[in-house]
Structures are given as structure tokens and as C-alpha cells.
Structure 1
Amino acid sequence: MIKIAMIEDDAELANVLTQYLAKYNIEITNYEDPFLALSAIALNPYDLIILDLTLPGMDGLEVCKKLLLKHNIPIIISSARSDITDKVIALELGADDYLPKPYDPRELEVRIKTILRRCSKELELLKPEAKKEIFILDEKKQEITKDGEFVKFTPAEYEIMSLMCKRKGFVVSRYDILQNCSLLNSSEESGTLAVIINRIRTKIEQDPKNPKYLLTIRGSGYKLVK
């Protein structure tokens, strides 16, 4: 359901548009008073605003300016004013469209959906790109992939690497690794662990001597970077 705030003091026109647009899954809430409208829009989420310019108590252009200062909501100006200056000012302020009265409600419906489609695409472009996971652990298959490619580990290497994947981004102490990996004897010296870590690095690092994925955190343990 598309939710729209209409600021229109012509109650008859507002009623006609409300009934017509309801057939297209568009819910209109009309406010005849611009001050009430500004308060309501601050408290309620709307997808779009339809704004008349000739309003009681406050000029529509001033309402437009106040809305654009506080909200990032598309605005369609719906006005009987024929002065081109009003249209230019409204669009320069940041209104998304200007629809001169009288107009066919069908045209308004099309413009609403066109603007919302465009805004939706713009929001998608602004979304930060999801960071691609380098290492993926599949516990059911007991497999680990790097950049989508299967990496062949020995059982002990897999056990350590799977623990590191589960705690990706966090430092895992040598003690934790020895306690959580059944193929490693917890009484063994950490030097044995260091040997296995080095073997893992030869399989996942471009330069094992200067690792960028499986890091040694001096005095603490190891960390698999995100």
C-alpha cells in the first residue's frame, strides 16, 4: 500500500482523488490545514506528498520549503495557479513534479508511480555494496571455499580453519583453538599449532610470509579478517 499525504483545502477534490486512487492501492490522508499537515508528516511515514499551493494561513511554496528542509519525501505540486514563476520556484526548491489543475486523476496516478519507481532506483544506487565474503564455511559438506573456489585442507587444517571462519573478525587465542579442535591435543606445544597455521597460509595466502587473511596477533592468538 502506497501511503500519501495530501495538503489540499478543496475537500471535494480531495475526496474524489482519495476514492479514485484507492483502486490503485494508494491510500490518501488529506490535510486541509498546512500547519496540521506539517505536524502530521513529522510523526507519520508517507511515501509521497501532494501539495496544493493556495492554502489557508500559509502559502504552498512556504510549506514546500519547510517540508524539504526536514524530510526526504517526494513532492508533487498540484495547483490551479497559472503563473510559470510558481512552477519554476517549486521545482527549484526541490519539488519532484508540478501538475496544473484541472487534471485527470489517472494522470496523477501515473505520475505518483513514476516518481516512486525513480526514487526507489535512486535509493538502490545509494545503498552500500554488500561486502563479498572471501571465505565460506559449509559445515554440512565440511568444506571451505575461498572466493568460491574449494580449498583442500587436511582434517586438522579444516578443523582450525572452520573455527576461524565461525569467529571471523575476532581474535582466537591459541588456547581456544587447542580446546575447540579435537584433532589437536590440548597438551601439545603451540609450536605444533604454528606449523599447521603456516600450512593453512600456504593454501589461502598469495604470500604466506606476509599474510593478509589469517593474521597472527602477537601475544593473543590468530584472527581471520572479514
Structure 2
Amino acid sequence: MNKILVIEDELDIANIILDYLVKERFEVKICQDGSLAMDIFHVFNPDLVILDLMLPGMDGYEICRKIREVSNIPIIILSAKVEEFDKIMGLKLGADDYVTKPFRMRELLARVQAMLRRSQIFNKGLSNPISFKELKIYPSEHRVEKNGTVIDLSPREFDVLIYLASNPGQVFTRDQLYNQIWGLEALGDISTITVTVNRLRQKLESDLNHPEYIQTVWGVGYKFGK
């Protein structure tokens, strides 16, 4: 049974999420105080976190950053903040997805299920390391090295990289990447792909103006290598 930690100070919303996910056979724990979130996180050891941004004690951005220091589990931000800046900030700190309030529980459930299926989908048949120039990707270990130095990637960044690197030279549109990796046709904002690719380039590329690994095919999408 997968465990989900819901960090949300609005008890009505938290209980709606809890009731819905429990019916879907998830084990769910609620945390309403940001200052207690990391203690509960370490004790509960969840498989996925649903995280509000506006919390007492410690805000969601800081909690997201702290979780990413110790874990690569999926994080879904659930927030009333709708500005593009807030979404980009959350994704930069390592969140995997961003859902704005009000939301539909069916959509949230679809996102939760898609993320928990992710490792099985992307690791299936991928056990051998992938090497390209100075980059080496270890799919089964979720590890990436450049010139022998480990590159710290979020789970979603790793998924985008492994998907592109497994199909070198093939061009994918943003819609294709979103549907294949996020697994949520027509439910999400494909600008998430742009943000994720930009973060990957900042971590992998020596020259952002002339990327070697994740390249843009103007008017179409992205590809890995040549």
C-alpha cells in the first residue's frame, strides 16, 4: 500500500483528500503545521507528498527544498497561488507537479497514480548505463554522472532525461513528452516541460547557448544529442 503525506493547513481540504485517497487504498497522513512537516515526513516515510505552499510555521517552498535534500519521492504542490512565478519557483525547488485550487479530486488522483507508476514505466527494460560524451546515466540507480561527478536531479528531471536519452536523435514535441512522462493527457500545463528542460540544461550543459545534450528543434520540440 502506497503512503501519501498531505501537508495542508485547511482541514476541510485535507480531509476531502484523505477520504478520497483512502477509498483508493492509499495510506494517508495529514500534517497541518509546516514546522512539523519534516518530522512527520521522516517518521511516516511516504511514497508521495501533496504539499500546500501557504502554511503556518514553515512555508511549502522551504519544505519542498528540505525534502529534496533527503529524498527524490514525487512532490505535488497544491496551492491557491496561480501566478507563473509561484509555479516556476516550486518546480525549481524540485516539485514534480503543480495543481492550483480549486481542483477536482479525480484530476489529483490521476496525477498521484501517474507519478507512482512512473518508476515502473521508465525502468522497464532499462538496466544498462547510457553514455554520451561526458554524461553517463544509470537508469536502475536513478543516477547521472558528468565527468565522474554525480548530478543531482529531481525524479521528474531524471524522467525527462532518460526518456530523451533512450531515444537519441528522435524529436519529441512538448505535448508528446508531457503525455508520455506525466501520463495526463489534457490535464496539465505543458509549460512544465519547458521549465523542466531549462533546469536540466542548467545542471548538465557547459554552454547554455550551445547545448550538447538536450537540444531544441525550433518549432517542433526537443531531442537528445545529435
TM-score (norm: length of structure 2): 0.54
- Say which one has the larger Rg: 1
Match of residue 117 from structure 1:
117
* Structure-1-length-normalised TM-score: 0.54
Extract structure 1 runs of 4+ deviating beyond 3 A: 120-125
Can you give the 5+ residue segments of structure 2 that lack an aligned partner in the other structure? 127-138, 142-226
Answer whether contact 2:51 2:77 (CA < 8 A) is retained.
yes
Alignment map for 1:191-202 (pairs within 5 Å): none
- Helix, strand or coil for the counterpart of 1:98? strand
Q: Does residue 73 of structure 2 align to residue 69 of structure 1?
A: no
Unpaired segments of 5 or more residues in structure 1?
A: 129-226
C-alpha distance in 1, partners of 2:122/2:48? 15
Q: Is the 8 A contact 2:79 2:100 kept in 1?
A: yes
Kindly state the Cα deviation for residue 27 of structure 1 after the two structures are TM-superposed: 2.0
Q: Give the fraction of aligned pairs with identical amino acids, expressed as a percent.
A: 45
Q: Residue type of the partner of 2:60?
A: G
Q: CA deviation at 1:119?
A: 2.9
CA distance in 2, matches of 1:119, 1:92: 21
Instruction: After TM superposition, list the pairs within 5 Å mapping 1:203-218 onto structure 2.
Output: none
Amino acid at match of 2:8: E
Q: Return the letter of the residue paired with 1:74.
A: P
Instruction: Tell me the C-alpha RMSD between the 2 structures.
Output: 1.5
Distance (whole Å) between structure 1 residues aligned to residue 54 and residue 120 of structure 2: 30
- State the shift of 1:23 in Å: 1.5
Partner of 2:21: 21
Structure 1 pair 39–122 and aligned structure 2 pair: CA distance change class (3 A): farther
Amino acid at match of 2:102: P
Partner of 1:78: 78
Contact 2:4 2:29 in 1 (8 A): yes
- Alignment map for 1:113-192 (pairs within 5 Å): 113-122=113-122, 125=126, 126-127=139-140
Alignment deviations for residues 113-163 of structure 1 (CA, whole Å, 9 cap, x no partner): 0011113334554327xxxxxxxxxxxxxxxxxxxxxxxxxxxxxxxxxxx
